[in-house]
Copies of this chain bind each other. A is one copy, B any other.
Amino acid sequence: MRATVIHGPRDIRLEDVPDPEVRLATDALVRVVASCVCGSDLWPYRGVTETSEPGRIGHEFVGVVEDMGSEVATLKVGDFVIAPFALSDNTCVHCRNGVHTSCERGAWWGGRDEHDLPIDAGQGEAVRVPMADGTLVATPGMPDDAAIPSLLTLSDVMGTGHHAAVSAGVGPRTTVVVVGDGAVGLCGVLAAKRLGAERVIAMSRHSDRQEVARAFGATDIVEERGDAGVARVRDLLGGVGADSVLECVGTKESMQQAIDSARPGGRVGYVGVPAGGAELPIRQLFGSNVSVGGGVAPVRGYLEELLAATMDGSIDPGRVFDLHLPLEQVADAYAAMDERRSIKVLLRP
């Protein structure tokens, strides 16, 4: 089959690789229907993180079960399934606590399973899925083609935006600020709206992203950044600051923006992978009683809830995909996201 391999900075290739097959009794073999490029895939693409040797890449995909091992109990051949960006057994104590990203048997796409067998990544034609019962969630019936973009966001960005909102304590009548207008930030707007927020202020300078933010439920857009952005947010919120702030970028500046935008006693929910130097200013947090929670999103734990909301039409997060390309053009997909010509690119094998 063909799968995406990263060789180094800005060197993305679609290559012929061995066909995956069921190796363990708990495996499923999934034919990929759609995958996509994540903001975090741009880190090795840009050389921010090192690529020491060529490796498979991509951790978001949906597809159809083609084969499975004898012990897989919750799936059947022909099921349409959603794969979260992390593998988990869904039974250990951490999974039961809802923190599937800390699963005792957890693994990552493109990595190794507990038997040290290689795991395929998402940007390819097929994937061997270890711990299939724990990792995959099947849709009720075969979805329409039009539903696929929204279902694909449940692999990562919608669950991650939801995690930011939950971690920031968003609920009915909450005032919310979302820092970051990437796909995760936009999904954070949608999640906050869905959870009942009264006011959702999206911080964005890009008209295309502002448009999606408004469609997702943003009540206000703030284009300013830094101190000017904080002043504008406070002005919109009666001088008080927000109850809940979703930090969806991961830089020191964006985290500071988020903390400064919270009211005393407010909560910052962060899901941006922390980039260099992003320590937290504890004295400021102490004095203002602003709390900080979140982290790598346990999207598996949210999947059933968000799948139901997607299927019944309450949310349509698939709008974050503003470019659809065939898998052959995966290198173009990376370039489009790198150059911010696209919010998020969907790939079809």
Residue ranges of A at the interface with B (Cβ–Cβ < 8 Å):
93-94, 97-99, 101-102, 167, 238, 240, 255, 263-265, 267, 270, 273-274, 278-283, 285-296, 298
Expressed in whole angstroms, the minimum distance between the Cβ of A316 and any Cβ of chain B is: 27
The contact of A291 among B101, B273, B282, B293, by CB within 8 Å, is B293
Nearest residue, chain B, Cβ from A255: B282
A18 to chain B, nearest CB (A): 31
Decide: B283 and A288 in contact? CB cutoff 8 A.
Answer: no
A289: which of B101, B255, B267, B273 is its contact (CB, 8 Å)?
A: B101
Task: Contact check, A102 vs B274: say whether CB atoms are below 8 A apart.
Answer: no
Also in contact, A289 and B99, with CB within 8 A (given A94-B263, A280-B282):
yes
Most B Cβ at <10 Å: residue of A240, A267, A273, A293: A293
* Additional A-B contacts beyond A280-B282, A280-B292 (20; CB < 8 A): A93-B238, A93-B240, A94-B264, A94-B265, A98-B265, A99-B263, A101-B264, A255-B282, A265-B298, A267-B293, A270-B286, A278-B282, A279-B279, A280-B280, A285-B295, A287-B296, A289-B293, A291-B291, A291-B292, A291-B294
- Closest Cβ of chain B to A124, distance in Å, is 27
Residue pair A99, B282 in contact (C-beta under 8 Å): no
Residues of B within 8 A of A298 (CB): 265, 289
Q: A288 contacts B295, CB within 8 Å?
A: yes
Q: List chain B residues, Cβ under 8 A from A99.
A: 263-265, 289
Minimum Cβ distance to chain B for residue A98 (Å): 6
Kindly state the separation between the CA atoms of A282 and B272 in the bound complex, as whole angstroms. Answer: 11
Contacting residues, chain B, for A265 (C-beta < 8 A): 94, 97-99, 102, 298
**CB contact between A97 and one of B102, B263, B278, B280 (< 8 Å): that residue:** B263
Q: Which residues of B contact A280 (CB under 8 A)?
A: 279-280, 282, 292
Contact A286 B291 (CB under 8 A): no
| CA gap between A93 and B293 in the complex, in Å | 24
Q: Top 3 closest A-B pairs, CB basis?
A: A291-B293, A102-B264, A99-B265
> Chain B residues near A279 (CB, 8 Å)?
279-282
Docked-complex contact B286 and A296, CB < 8 angstroms: yes
Q: Specify which chain B residues have a CB less than 8 angstroms from the CB of A264 in the assembled complex.
A: 94, 97, 99, 101-102
- Tell me the smallest distance from the CB of A135 to a CB of chain B, in Å: 18
With both beta carbons as reference points, the residue of chain B lying nearest to A293 in the complex is identified as B291
Q: Is the CB of B282 within 8 A of A289?
A: no
CA of A264 to CA of B270 in the docked complex: distance in angstroms? Answer: 15
Shortest CB-to-CB span from A23 to chain B, Å, is 28
Question: A273–B283 Cα gap in the complex (Å)?
Answer: 8
Closest chain B residue to A267, Cβ basis: B293
CB closest chain-B residue, reference A278: B282
